[in-house]
Amino acid sequence: MLLRQNESAAYAIGASLYDYRWHVVAIDLAGIVIDREQVDLATPDAEAAVTGLGDGIERLRQRLDPQRMLPLIGIGPPGLVDVSSHVVKSAADLGWRDVPIGERITERTGVPCAVVNRSKAGALAAYWHIARRTVDHLIFISIGTGVSAGIVQQGRLLLGANSSAGELGHITILPDGPRCECGNHGCLQELISERAIASGARAALRRNPDSVLVETCGHHPDTLTALQVLDAAERGDAVALSVVETISGYLTVAVANLINLFNPQLIILGGPVAERSPRLVASVARSVGDRAMAYPLSVARIVGNELGPEAGAVGTAVLVLENAPRLILQLPIYR
Ligand SMILES: [Zn+2]
């Protein structure tokens, strides 16, 4: 007799920070989102972020059946995360240091937490939903306020010795480049993050006052955002296009190095920057062949992130699902 799992017997909650917004989702046992919440942060301040996350989780839980919630909450913050203590050691792009995010959410909700970097969570979501668990080697790259990568090898998330594997944003691209908050110079993050895109466009505007970007920012270049620049590039503005071309060059170097190092079958370019710029994804896919070795490149595909802003949240909930066989026995109906 064939038995089939009842996908709605339980659900998992996961959350991840995307730009300045927490996405909180509940997924069923098949990994499908059944409900969601969002919390916008007025400032990137860590205290406000932890409080906002707790609010979002509680609002979502109030709408769902408490009897069926798997007793673990997945959280995907930015930065270097110690997965054993559930602490964000540092998130240079947001100025966070030693934030005990797991402990704080457990105090608020009474539920234990599993915490991983948001790009690692994105990689898990991509493994389940984009690769449908048929591709065992993939890399998810998130480009937004920060830059990082989640690496799945042989169907398992690569954590490294102290769970910091995948800090792609802090590989050196220009040895004499701009100083990064991490203390190094010329890190990828300083060259392609949202802040880098906005400041690159502002500098270019001073030389090209005819760009449509001048109108976009209401003649106040200081208010120009990266997403406005990326949108202008999609519409063909020359200044914005030159900025996208520059970041594409840097990102291509990083992606080619990942292909040579990890031999992935799939590289997903996600996060606010890549998701707003199909042109950037296409440009990297086109030019990576100039740099990566032909043999590993022959199996590698570069794609955009079809899961969108919820990828990290879905991935942290997937992390909970991976513990489902153990957790499900703790549900009230089985006790
Ligand atoms: Zn750095």
pLDDT tens for 227-265 read 999 999 999 999 999 999 999 999 999 999 999 999 999
Ligand 1 centre distance from Cα of residue 175 (Å): 11
* Calpha distance 70→330 (Å, rounded): 8
Ligand 1 centre distance from Cα of residue 144 (Å): 14
Ligand 1 centre distance from Cα of residue 189 (Å): 7
3-state secondary structure of 255: helix
The C-alpha angle 101, 102, 103, rounded to 5 degrees, equals 95
Give 121 or 131, the one with higher predicted confidence: 121
Indicate left, alpha or beta for 95 from its phi (over 0: left) and psi (-120 to 50: alpha): left
Give 132 or 334, the one with higher predicted confidence: 132
Q: What is the mean pLDDT of residues 11-20?
A: 96
Task: Grade residue 36 by pLDDT with cuts at 50, 70 and 90.
Answer: very high
pLDDT tens for 40-64 read 999 989 999 999 999 999 999 999 9
pLDDT tens for 142-159 read 999 999 999 999 999 999
Task: Grade residue 333 by pLDDT with cuts at 50, 70 and 90.
Answer: low
* Calpha distance 165→42 (Å, rounded): 30
Q: What is the pTM of this model?
A: 0.94
Give 137 or 182, the one with higher predicted confidence: 137
User: Domains (ranges, CATH) in the chain?
Assistant: 11-115+310-334 (3.30.420.40), 130-304 (3.30.420.40)
Ligand 1 centre distance from Cα of residue 196 (Å): 13
Beta carbons of 243 and 201 less than 8 angstroms apart = yes
Ligand 1 centre distance from Cα of residue 187 (Å): 5
Ligand 1 centre distance from Cα of residue 92 (Å): 8
Lookup result for tokens 């792609």: 168
Q: Are strands 80-82 and 87-91 parallel, antiparallel or unpaired?
A: antiparallel
Contacts 24+ apart (CB under 8 A), 225-231: 225/194, 225/198, 226/193, 226/194, 226/195, 226/196, 226/197, 226/198, 226/201, 226/272, 226/273, 227/194, 227/272, 227/276, 229/197, 229/198, 229/201, 230/197, 230/273, 230/276, 230/277, 230/280, 231/276
pLDDT value of position 163? 93
Handedness of CA 322, 139, 146, 158 (dihedral sign): positive
The pair of three-digit structure tokens given for residue 308, joined into one six-digit string: 């969108």
Handedness of CA 169, 192, 195, 235 (dihedral sign): negative
Ligand 1 centre distance from Cα of residue 20 (Å): 20
Task: Grade residue 335 by pLDDT with cuts at 50, 70 and 90.
Answer: low
pLDDT value of position 93? 80
Ligand 1 centre distance from Cα of residue 241 (Å): 25
Partners of residue 69 on adjacent β-strands: 11
Q: What phi and psi values does residue 7 have, to the nearest 5 degrees?
A: -65, -20
